[in-house]
Structure formats: C-alpha cells, structure tokens
Amino acid sequence: MAHAFGGVWTERKLSVVRRYLEMYAQALKNQAFQRVYIDAFAGTGDRTDKRRETLPLLDLPDFDAVAKGSARIALEVDPPFHRYVLIERATRRASDLSGLKSEFPSRNIEIVNDDANDAIAALCKQINWRSTRGVVFLDPYGLQVTWGTLVGIAGTRALDVWVLFPSGMGLNRLLTKSGDIPQEWQETLDRSLGTKEWRSAFYRTEEAPDLFEGSRSKTVKDANPMKLEKFYLDRLRTIFPTVMNASVRLTNSKDQTMYLLCFACANPSPKAKALTTKLAGWATKA
Ligand SMILES: C[S@@+](CC[C@H](N)C(=O)[O-])C[C@H]1O[C@@H](n2cnc3c(N)ncnc32)[C@H](O)[C@@H]1O
C-alpha cells in the first residue's frame, strides 16, 4: 500500500537524492568498491502525492496519485548498487518494502524492520569500509535521527549522507518563545543536535524594566531560519570532513522553511571531497 506524506517539498527532496545517486553510481562504476545504499527511513517504496498541495489554485476534488518513494528510486539507479539496505520501523511498511524484492529480482535487497538509529549503528560496525563506499539517506518525519547515528556514519570514512533536518517542523517548534521547554523536548534537542549549546545559541537574556524592582531579566528567543541552518551545518562540520556549504531549503506553499536537506561526506580524502562536492552541487541544481 502506498504511504501518504509530504508536500511540494517532497518532490524537490527526492529529485535531489535521485540525481545524486545516479551521478554517484556512474562516477564509481569502474572502481573496485562495493557500493551500498542505505535508506534508513524507507517508508513503503511508494508514496501518495496530495495533489491539492501541488495544484492549489485548481478547484479540483482531492485526489491521490501514487509516486515513487526513495527506495524505489534508488533501486532504479543504473548501474545498481551492489547492496541495498532498506530500514523501516513500521512493520506493515517494512512488509510492503519486501514486495520490491520480486519487482527487482536482480538487486540485492535487505529489509530491516527496526529503529533506524540501532540499525545504522550495527551496519557501521559490520561492513568492511575499506572495500565499500555508499550513500545513506536519512529521511525522518521529525527529529528521530540521533547525533550518535551521524557520528557512526562519519566514523566509516566511506559513506556520503543526505540528511533531512526538520528545522522548521521540528527544531523551531521545540524552541518555545519563553525558553521554558519541557524536559522531554530538551532531551530530544540534546539527542538530535549532540550538544546542549542550542540554548545559548537560540536564547539570550535581556534586562526588562520592572515597575517595582527597577529591572528584571527575561529570556528572549533569538532564532531565525538562517541561524537554525548555520547551527546545524556547523554541527555537521564538527564530525564530517566535507559538508555542503548550504542546505537545500524545502519550503511549504507559504514559502516557510520546513526542512533542510543537508549533504555530508565522511571520506576525508581530497579526491573524495572534490568529487562529492561537485556531485552534490550538481544534484541540487534542478
Ligand atoms: C518521511 S517517511 C520516509 C519516506 C521515504 N523516504 C520515501 O521517500 O518514500 C518516514 C518513514 O520513517 C519511518 N520511521 C519513523 N521513525 C523511524 C525510526 N526510528 N526508524 C526507522 N523508521 C522510522 C516511518 O514509519 C516512515 O515510513
């Protein structure tokens, strides 16, 4: 069964990832490396597209059109990857993914019905990264990607990663205006950013005049889309040797940034840096 999600930004996100995978497969096809594609939030392989979002001006009844999801897109890449690992926590979606095996009998596909963070930690330890290169796509709905997962990917020195970061949908919403943030939300922010520095980055203290006490200190939120993006890209730069200068901003129909699609490469060699920077740049010029 197809899986309904996303908006106009979904098209843009998947077109960038598709272009990158196609160019990556071409660029590495004559090298001896085993190529692995890891889709950590794989969905079902298909998605239903909400046409009202893409055609807002037409007075048509809502209808859904089935479009390709990231797993199917990756399986269509030619030359293919030697190994596909499709991770999905929801059991029904993971079972839908299994249907792709009969559709793509020549592809080496593994379905992992587990939490993406646990599955990636295991893969990063199991795979021989001297002889393997690959691409990971982290496409969560919210702030499910833990910092430890990114640290594990960076530690392979062999993987490229496209990570969808919910700067507007996730981060900005958890950063409340008053700075009074429920404990659980604070832990989510710590876990996904790998630091507590978000507090000093996005809040400042101001002295506010007070009728009785003279003045009183007040916490003021100091965050805007550019600041949120810079913070996340700077965090990635602390662990990856290459991080694309700017992310792909995925906006809704009101032009508000919902997600940032960010690229990083774990391979520290100057050759890999030059190649992946070029490919990621091309992939985003759609
Ligand atoms: C935005 S959808 C992914 C869409 C998919 N990349 C595509 O293009 O078709 C996010 C998916 O992640 C799954 N998910 C959510 N939390 C997860 C987790 N911790 N580990 C693995 N999968 C998870 C959801 O069930 C959902 O199918």
**pLDDT for res 208:** 78
- What is the residue extent of each domain of the chain? 3-174+225-284
Q: For 51-88, what is each residue's pLDDT tens digit?
A: 444 444 444 444 456 789 999 999 999 999 999 999 99
pLDDT for 65 = 62
Q: Would you tell me which CATH number, out of the four given (3.40.50.150, 2.20.140.10, 3.65.10.10, 3.30.565.10), belongs to the domain 3-174+225-284?
A: 3.40.50.150
Ligand 1 pocket residue status of 41, Cβ below 6 Å: yes
Q: How far apart are CA 221 and CA 206, in angstroms?
A: 10
Please confirm whether the linkage preceding 79 is cis (ω < 30° from 0). Answer: yes
Distance 42 CA to ligand 1 centre (A): 5
User: What is the structure's pLDDT at 277?
Assistant: 97
* pLDDT for the residue 52: 44
State in Å: Cα 90 to ligand 1 middle: 8
Q: Partners of 265 in the beta sheet?
A: 160, 242
The answer to whether the beta carbons of residues 82 and 31 sit under 8 Å apart is no
Q: Are 266 and 154 in contact (CB under 8 A)?
A: yes
Structure tokens at 169: 């949908």
pLDDT-derived band at 190, boundaries 50, 70, 90: very high
CB 234 within 8 A of CB 228: no
Closest-lying ligand 1 atom to the alpha carbon of residue 73: 8
pLDDT at residue 199 tops 60: yes
Q: Assess whether pLDDT exceeds 80 at residue 6.
A: no
pTM: 0.92
DSSP state of 211: T
Distance 36 CA to ligand 1 centre (A): 19
Structure tokens at 113: 């019905």
Average pLDDT over residues 243-262: 93
| Exposed e or buried b per residue across 187-205, where buried means at least 16 C-beta atoms within 10 angstroms of its C-beta | ebbbbbbbeeebeebbbee
pLDDT of 273 strictly over 80: yes
> Is residue 106 pLDDT above 80, yes or no?
yes
Query: Residues 113-140: pLDDT tens digits?
Result: 999 999 999 999 999 999 999 999 999 9
**In the 8-state DSSP scheme, what is residue 33?**
P
Identify the weakest region by mean pLDDT among 35-44, 185-194, 204-213, 240-249. 204-213
Mutate to test the pocket of ligand 1, among 18, 85, 141, 188 (most ligand atoms within 8 A of CB): 141
* In contact, 132 and 214? CB cutoff 8 Å: no
Residues 6+ apart with CB under 8 A from 193: 147, 231, 232, 235
Q: Is 18 in the pocket of ligand 1 (CB under 6 A)?
A: no
d(CA 16, CA 34): 23
Nearest atom in ligand 1 to 69's CA? 9
Closest by CA to 68, choosing from 14, 106, 112, is 14
- Indicate whether residue 89 lines ligand 1 (CB < 6 A): yes
pLDDT digits (tens, 9 = 90+) for 9-24: 898 999 999 999 999 9
- Tokens 């960076």 found at: 154
Q: Is 164 helix (H, G, I), strand (E, B) or coil?
A: strand
pLDDT at residue 66, rounded to an integer: 72
**Residue 214 predicted with pLDDT over 80:** no
CA of 139 to the centre of ligand 1 (A): 6
State the pLDDT confidence band at 201, using cuts at 50, 70 and 90.
very high
CA distances from 105 to 11, 33, 129, 142, 238 (A): 27, 22, 26, 33, 40
3-state secondary structure of 206: strand
* Predicted local distance difference test score (pLDDT) of residue 210: 76
pLDDT at 60: 47
Query: Residue 221 C-alpha to ligand 1 middle, in angstroms?
Result: 31
Atom of ligand 1 at shortest range from CA of 72: 9
Q: Give the percent of the chain with pLDDT over 70.
A: 91
Between 165 and 6, the higher pLDDT residue: 165
Nearest alpha carbon to residue 16 among 260, 228, 284:
284
**What pLDDT score was predicted for residue 8?**
75
Name the residue with higher pLDDT: 217 or 31: 31
